[in-house]
Structure 1
């Protein structure tokens, strides 16, 4: 709508009378949320046809009919906003989008620590400052690009990656550590010394991660907030494509790479100029890391590795790669170059993630690129960080579905009443809410333990818990996705319109159940860890 357009004030009687007179000439006015629209020229272009504007709508309040078919965002698009010619006198609109940078007011759309009137033992003011800053950044910079790239299948725009770099968000996504020293985080919102796992910035992602604390020191804890804020976009593949490979590919370099290797790689990744990922999964080996077939053999002079093999379902371009060597399992940084070939892998989940099949054909890599300590410590607990981040994402994405379903069941009518009047629908909503609240509570408890344990303690005490949590989170997510489709009906499997977030979630959520170890594998890992910890004298 142009700023110079004059909007008049009408009474409801005037709109009805004017529309009745204009109808003789084929004109049509309607009221939506106290706003008056002249849709005379638009009615024949309406995707549902002009017949939907019957006598019950012409000149009348069409708010209920509109919101039974369309999302509120339709009215904010310029081509439709300019159809507004006025508003109803002495009335104000009551339906608004969530304000930029503001949390949702819909019940259970936010974790309790962000909900008005609730308290938390885990989050403090620095977390709240960071959350507000990141949410505003996501609303203003990320959200529109996320939806556009999911639609066209292209990688996230470089401009978004560059703006993240300016705020040191790529560095923050690595979690707390020495790499943050001296950096200005989110314009100074949070100091590097207070950055912890409740702050950490991570979108959702794929492949395998080995995030170790090399000195065994107690890490500060930060990640939860930004992970969950980026997921608000409702664009699963975009989260993976948004330089998320660095989240799992760079920590081994930070923790076990030589100073020279770090100087070569880290600054370019933090600035968004280069991309990095962790290439572990293979066509022959997914959850079974010991079954890897990619090999690395040293040259006779011992100065290089010769790498041969393939990797599958890998995101981004420079590779922290797991290989079989004479020592067993070794991780090597392999830069894109001669002998390295990548092909796009088409999946049902998203093209914008850049999922790739990688071939290593006699690739020559300096031995200085070896991450020895990382490779030798090949216990399942090395994947704790990846699985934990996925739990953060799962909890947030389930809330998006809960919010969509609560809104829809209020505005959609069936059998003359809102969907929410049906007990079966309320039961589905109840189980959705119970799932996401239990996932979030368990997640916050595990995060608190991560904040207060050394790496060795985490490895022995949290590997099983995080495995359980990840298995439980993704299982809950798939059940919630199925229930959401039932609530939305045909719209839940349509890639546009009212249910497009639900369709996207239902289509992409099975992918989460495979990342970092399949659900059944992780559940079994958790049980085996528990059995190993059983006291010898335990009897009924």
Structure 2
């Protein structure tokens, strides 16, 4: 993709002539920036800028800022570059989709794609870096390139601001719909029957679980759990039950708006006294004497996206105790008696975590999702998709912690040498890398299995393994966040700046270790479920 504006070449002498408050230029990594009109906006004030006016400010800039700040202001402030240096511009020629360079002939099909990204070892999956893959094809590469270009230009530079404001602009969510990303994030086929929107670089009939994995992974690379949950969290777990189990009339009425990004949805299962213990939830739904409505009373807690949702996929008790008395209903924001309030949490600030209350909410029986008293089965079909999403995010966040640490270790000097030259730092990075790669390779295999099995078979055979992988991914995330914080030192304890991503992600570890099934429950389920399946398959114990 070509650059959006023509940038001039300057000499250092040219820049030196602009060292006053009336005309203030600086150089950062070879790029020339005119900060004359920016002085009053600079968070550190004019004085800091005056110190570097007309000079190369690279060292001072990187002392206080991360790459996201440069990405954010480059389109507004860059006017050129020093000499023939390649200018740091807002869009790169390399943003065009990479084409496959070879297909290795073998009895097992393998693809080999061009090198992509910054080529920091282990900072991206190795198929980005010129290694072969047996799972992916050119359509996956094209989607990766498309999503990364969008995230780099329109999302990553702003996530810190959005996090502080506790909200992602509605336009970003709407763009997810326009690009076809929402329709591809349901853990099912691409639902062409409910939308005319099509992905730009992937035919709907080609769309598979790897495309969804890549979409989630590249958005997660921005380094904000609040962002990912805002765009994919409530939607990715609230909408699939509607797609799979709602009545045809409900689907036709609800899904087009959801897939386009015009409407939003959330999943309401967790209650103040019923988190992982779904079978014992207490929110009630009682039929009216005429049998035309359910009257819903109760409350739900920690509901992602609830403050913005138009629709609420709600687990209710319609029968007796235990799982056999649970049903699922679709409630709507306009229904009297449904109230929401924002919750303040440790992390994922821009995700819209919500406390939802139901006071005599009147719901048409046509809004039943699935069959009455069989909602627990519907909920169970949702778990593999939800947990895989968490695994993808936790694994990429681990990479973000690692990549930020690796790059910082090459800049920061202590005791007369760079951090990367200290064996103890290299050991930290190595331990992060081996955990990340082990987790990612298991993830790829699980996604491949979901592509190879029916949904019913995958739910039965993969539930245990995915539960175990969910625990492994969040433990890896916690380890990498801690090690990254140690490498960044005090910079990881203050919001913003070079350690901003690490600080934010460290706060968000628990938001991944607990939702979707806590690590303790996942580890127990991994063994129990896998044993049950393999005993049925003939395991000799």
Taking structure 2 as the reference length, the TM-score comes to 0.82
* TM-fit CA distance, 1:10: 4.0
Give the match's secondary structure for 1:462. Answer: helix
CA contact (8 A) 1:72 1:97 kept: no
Number of the residue aligned with 2:358: 360
Alignment counterpart, residue 128 of structure 2, candidates 105, 110, 114: 114
Partner residue, 2:387: 387
1:424 Cα deviation (Å)? 1.0
2:349 alignment partner in structure 1? 351
2:314 aligned to 304, 316, 321, which one? Answer: 321
For 1:368 and 1:66, the matched residues in 2 are separated by: 59
1:199-214 → structure 2 map (5 Å cutoff): 199=211
- 1:256 — aligned with what? 245
Hey, what does 1:170 align to over in structure 2? 182
Contact 1:248 1:386 in 2 (8 A): yes
Aligned to 1:450: 450
Looking at structure 1, the residues matched to 417 and 30 of structure 2 have their Cα atoms a distance apart, in angstroms, of 23
Q: Is residue 2:138 matched to residue 1:143?
A: no
CA distance in 1, matches of 2:197, 2:418: 46
Is the 2:340–2:354 contact (alpha carbons within 8 Å) kept by the matching residues of 1? yes
The aligned residue for residue 9 of structure 1 is 11
CA–CA separation in structure 2 for the residues paired with 1:469 and 1:42:
48
Please list every run of 5 or more consecutive structure 1 residues that lacks an aligned counterpart in the other structure.
Answer: 200-222
SS in 2 for 1:108: coil
- Tell me how far 1:233 sits from its aligned partner: 1.6
Question: Counterparts of 1:81-120 in structure 2 under 5 Å?
Answer: 87=82, 92=85, 99=92, 101=95, 103-105=116-118, 106-115=120-129, 117-120=130-133
Deviates more, 1:527-536 or 1:486-495: 527-536
Structure 2 alignment gaps of length 5 or more = 97-115
Map 1:408-447 onto structure 2 (within 5 A): 408-447=408-447
Alignment of 1:235-274 (within 5 A): 235-242=224-231, 244-274=233-263
Structure 1 vs Structure 2 CA RMSD = 3.6
Q: Is the 8 A contact 1:133 1:186 kept in 2?
A: no
Counterpart residue number, 2:497: 497
Larger relative contact order, structure 1 or 2 (CA cutoff 8 Å, min sep 6): 1
1:239 Cα deviation (Å)?
1.6
* Bigger Cα displacement from structure 2, 36-45 vs 289-298: 36-45
| Counterpart check, 1:311 vs 2:300 | yes
CA offset at residue 518 of structure 1? Answer: 0.4
Q: Alpha-carbon deviation of 1:413?
A: 0.9
Q: Does 1:127 align with 2:140?
A: yes
Partner of 2:368: 370
Report SS of the residue matched to 2:349.
coil
Task: Give me the whole-angstrom Cα distance separating, in 2, the residues matched to 1:81 and 1:188.
Answer: 28
More divergent stretch after superposition (461-470 vs 120-129): 120-129
Distance 2:269 2:443 in 1: 26
2:132 aligned counterpart, secondary structure: coil
Aligned length: 502
Kindly tell me: are residues 370 and 380 of structure 1, through their superposed partners in 2, closer, same or farther at Cα, counting changes over 3 Å? closer
The Cα of 1:278 is off from its aligned counterpart by: 1.0
- C-alpha distance in 1, partners of 2:6/2:189? 53
TM-superposed deviation, 1:256: 1.1
Higher alpha-carbon deviation: 472-481 or 225-234 = 225-234
Q: Match of 1:480?
A: 480
Kindly indicate whether the alpha-carbon contact (under 8 Å) linking 2:402 and 2:432 is maintained by their aligned counterparts in 1. Answer: yes
Given the superposition, is the C-alpha separation of residues 3 and 101 from structure 1 closer, same or farther in structure 2, using an over 3 Å criterion? closer
TM-aligned CA deviation for residue 3 of structure 1: 7.9
Conservation of the 8 A alpha-carbon contact between 1:312 and 1:358: yes
1:392-424 Cα distance to aligned partner (Å, 9 max, x none): 111222212211111100011111211101111
Separation of aligned partners in 2, 1:145 and 1:67: 18
Would the aligned equivalents of 1:313 and 1:357 in 2 still touch at CA under 8 Å? Answer: yes
Deviations, residues 411-468 of structure 1 (Å, cap 9, x unaligned): 1111121110111111110011111111110000001111111223212210000000
> What is the TM-score normalised by the length of structure 1?
0.82
| Alpha-carbon distance in structure 2 between the residues aligned to 1:381 and 1:474 | 22
2:148·2:218 contact (CA, 8 Å) conserved in 1? yes
Distance 2:370 2:33 in 1: 67
**Residue aligned with 1:293, SS:** coil
Query: What is the aligned partner in structure 1 of residue 202 from structure 2?
Result: 190
Change (3 A) 1:294 1:7: same
- Tell me the equivalent position of 1:210: none
Look up the match of 2:108. Answer: none
Alpha-carbon separation, structure 2, partners of 1:189 and 1:447: 21
Q: 1:330 aligns with which of 327, 332, 335?
A: 327
TM-fit CA distance, 1:183:
5.3
Cα distance between partner residues in 2 of 1:94 and 1:144: 18
Give the structure with higher Rg (CA).
1
2:59 is the alignment partner of 1:67 = no
Q: Which moved more, 1:335-344 or 1:369-378?
A: 369-378
Q: Which segment drifts farther, 97-106 or 280-289? A: 97-106
* Conserved? CA contact 1:75–1:81, under 8 Å: no
